[in-house]
Each structure stands twice: as C-alpha cells, then as structure tokens.
C-alpha cells in the first residue's frame, strides 16, 4: 500500500483515499477493505506507510462502524488513523455484516465529528439533495459522500450544492436531459472499453437513468435488448416527450 501511495503521489492527485470500508466479497476475502477493521494496528501501519510514501500528498481514509454489531470500533480505528497522519476521515456508519441493509446511523458520524481533529466526511443514505443538508445539520460533518443516490442521477451534486448556497432547486431533470446524460456516459465508457462491453455495462445504468419515468419498464426492456449505442439513441428518441417524469 505504501508503494502504491508513492506511485499514485507521482501523478500529483489532490489526495489519496484509503478505503477501509469496502465490503465487496472479493476484497474482504483477501483481508482488504473493511476486513482490516478487525486489525486496527495493521490499519495504523498501512496508513502511516502510505502517508510517508505519499510525500506530502494528503492521505485520507474511509471506514465503516466496525465489522459487526458486537465489534463497533470506528472511534478506535479513527484515533489510530489520525495518529498515522491522515488528513480527513470518511465514515459510512454501517457494519460489514449490515452491508447496505438497515439505516446509516448518522449519530455515529456526529460522534466522530466530536472526537476527530481532522475533517469528517459523512456517508450513507443520501438519496435526495435535501438529505445532504440534513446530514450536515444533524452531524456537523465537513463534507458528504454520495454513492447510490448518484447512480443515474449526477444532478444530485449540483442540486445539493445549490441548496447549501441557499439557491433555488431546479428540480428533477426532464426525460430528455436524463437520456442525453445516459448517452454521454455511454460514449465516455465506449472510449475506454469499446462499444460491446459498454452496452452490457450500461444496462444497469440505463435502468438507473430511467427510474421513475412513465413507461419506464417498456423503455428498459427495449434498452436491455439493444446491441449498440446508435440503437440506444434511437430508442431514447422515440420515447414520447409528452410522458411526465416523476421524482428519481
Ligand atoms: C457503485 C458503488 C461504488 C462505490 N465505490 C466506492 C469506492 O470506490 N470507494 C469508496 O470509498 N466507497 C465506494 N462506495 C461506497 C460509497 O462511497 C458509500 O460509502 C456507500 O455506498 C454508502 O453511501 P450511499 O448510501 O450514499 O450509497 C461505492 C458505492 C457504490 C454504490
């Protein structure tokens, strides 16, 4: 991890984030991600070495509440990470065993804010711009991280920012705007991985972008069967403009 941080630092990123919250089975099986929360001292060694080799590029870290409900140790791990020199901490207050079930317990983010001398970023269950505001006010966190709420919905960031700045909310994007964004994402992916792999990967994203649209199920059936981006574009073009969209 230290060597990786050193290599990444050469690319001059704004910061390097160490993810000790990842619950994905293939990562956890190899004792990576959130599995390391069962070994706080090892987390400390990893973080300290990453900070050292990052040579001045800020290193931040992401954690969960703990491994399971009987081993809630985010404050202990946070303390070790702070001593190791991390510049900020993100907490997704669920355990590994919870996965994405139950609710993100924001009171733990507030606890960490009180405990931590470095900025705390809150994570979990921000699905609407208003949720971001609620997390700031309920926890005192310095920033929020948005995961699932941004899938097929990149507008959530700009809308949350506008609310924070006391500006009006433009509301949900219209179907045409959603389709254009979905196609732009697909084109960017095609540039990286080719059209066929993109169309397969984009199936789930098309379904996020069309969530809540009138006639969405029929639209998704067509999109799932399509085999090229031009075909996807035509399917979107034929979506009746008159159909109303409902909140994402
Ligand atoms: C598709 C997806 C990819 C994610 N990738 C990362 C990642 O690379 N690094 C990270 O720290 N968290 C990652 N997360 C976790 C989120 O940052 C977040 O902590 C978690 O999803 C809970 O927040 P949410 O309720 O806003 O989804 C990912 C989540 C999702 C849904």
Q: Residue 247 — very low, low, confident or very high, per pLDDT cuts 50/70/90?
A: low
Ligand 1, atom 3, residue with closest C-alpha: 147
Tell me how far the alpha carbon of residue 147 lies from the centroid of ligand 1, in angstroms. 4
Mean local confidence (pLDDT), 68-75:
97
Ligand 1, atom 15, residue with closest C-alpha: 147
Ligand 1, atom 29, residue with closest C-alpha: 147
Tell me how far the alpha carbon of residue 215 lies from the centroid of ligand 1, in angstroms. 29
Q: Determine what percent of the chain is predicted with pLDDT higher than 90.
A: 94
Domain 2-164 falls in which CATH fold?
TIM Barrel (3.20.20)
- State the number of CA atoms in the 13 A half-sphere of 129 facing the CB: 22
Q: What is this model's ipTM?
A: 0.98
226 a catalytic residue: no
Q: Which atom of ligand 1 is nearest to the CA of 21?
A: 11
Q: What pLDDT sits at residue 35? A: 97
Q: What is the mean pLDDT of the chain?
A: 95
Q: Report in angstroms the alpha-carbon separations of 178 from 8, 26, 173, 185, 238.
A: 34, 33, 6, 11, 14
């Amino acid at each position: 991890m230290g060597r990786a941080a050193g290599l990444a630092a050469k690319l001059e990123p704004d910061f390097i984030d160490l993810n000790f919250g990842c619950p994905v089975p293939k990562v956890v099986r190899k004792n990576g991600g959130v599995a390391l929360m069962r070994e706080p001292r090892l987390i400390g060694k990893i973080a300290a070495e990453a900070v050292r080799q990052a040579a001045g590029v800020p290193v931040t870290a992401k954690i969960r509440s703990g491994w399971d409900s009987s081993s809630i140790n985010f404050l202990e791990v946070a303390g070790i990470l702070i001593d190791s020199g991390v510049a900020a901490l993100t907490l997704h207050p669920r355990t590994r065993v919870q996965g994405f079930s139950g609710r993100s317990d924001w009171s733990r983010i507030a606890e960490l804010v009180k405990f931590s001398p470095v900025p705390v970023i809150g994570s979990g269950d921000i699905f609407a711009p208003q949720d971001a505001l609620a997390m700031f006010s309920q926890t005192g966190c310095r920033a929020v991280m948005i995961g699932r709420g941004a899938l097929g919905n990149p507008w959530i960031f700009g809308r949350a920012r506008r609310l924070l700045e006391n500006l009006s909310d433009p509301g949900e994007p219209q179907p045409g705007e959603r389709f254009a964004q979905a196609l732009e994402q697909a084109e960017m992916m095609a540039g990286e991985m080719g059209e066929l792999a993109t169309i397969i990967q984009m199936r789930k994203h098309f379904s996020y972008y069309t969530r809540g649209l009138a006639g969405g199920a029929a639209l998704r059936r067509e999109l799932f069967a399509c085999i090229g981006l031009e075909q996807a574009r035509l399917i979107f073009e034929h979506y009746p403009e008159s159909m109303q969209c409902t909140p994402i």
